[in-house]
Amino acid sequence: MYTPDPSPTPGSITSLVNALGQTADSEREALIPRVYDVLRQIAQGWAGHGRAGGVPATELVHEAYVKLFGKGPVEWENRAHFFGAAARAMQQILVDLSRREDVRRRHAPTLAAATEDGAASLTWENLAALSEAVNSLERTDPVLAEIVRLRFFAGLTEEQASLACGMPLRTLQRKWKVARGWLLLRMEGERGV
């Protein structure tokens, strides 16, 4: 178990992105504390959202960590692979969480339902729909889907994402725009609005 750096430096995602690109396989193990750190940053972006209070960041990090490293040693082929995997892990965790949240809400005791505001958490619900939309985008255009994952689920900035998948920034921006449009169409279509 690694102890996360108590004070993650801003920009450590970018530095990790760079480091992953430059480090030989044998040395990557040494990067894992930084990986953990990055996961925490990603998770913090998500923590506290959804329904009141949301999920503590640490819980998200642990889940993401288990998803990424739980199956034994990982060979990171390249940085795109790493961030792709982290983004997928985050996607899966968040969707799972949203489902749990949904079940919890449905089985809440009557009085609680009566007193408590039964407001659905828009974030969680959209999340599951978005996740499905991204998965179906992957069938059509895996690159676009990857960019959405990096940007949305892993929370990378455009610059970070362009570094992570080794794509010129302008190209990435264009693709990101188109992907958002596609997702919007898709999600509106499914809601039948």
CA gap 68, 191 in Å, rounded:
33
> Minimum distance between the CB of residue 37 and other proteins, rounded to whole angstroms?
18
> Minimum distance between the CB of residue 191 and other proteins, rounded to whole angstroms?
6
Phi then psi dihedrals of residue 76, to 5 deg: -85, 110
> Is residue 43 a contact partner of residue 66, using CB atoms and an 8 Å limit?
no
Site for other proteins in 41-100 (CB under 8 A): 45-46, 48-49, 52-53
Q: With CA atoms as reference, report the closest residue to 45 among 34, 35, 33, 60.
A: 60
> Minimum distance between the CB of residue 157 and other proteins, rounded to whole angstroms?
7
Q: Which stretch binds other proteins (CB under 8 A): 13-21, 63-71, 75-83, 116-124?
A: 116-124
Task: Quote the Cα angle for 163-167-172, to 5°.
Answer: 100
**Interacting residues with other proteins (CB under 8 A):** 45-46, 48-49, 52-53, 110-120, 122-123, 125-126, 129-130, 139-141, 144, 151-152, 155, 157-158, 174-178, 180-185, 187-188, 191, 193
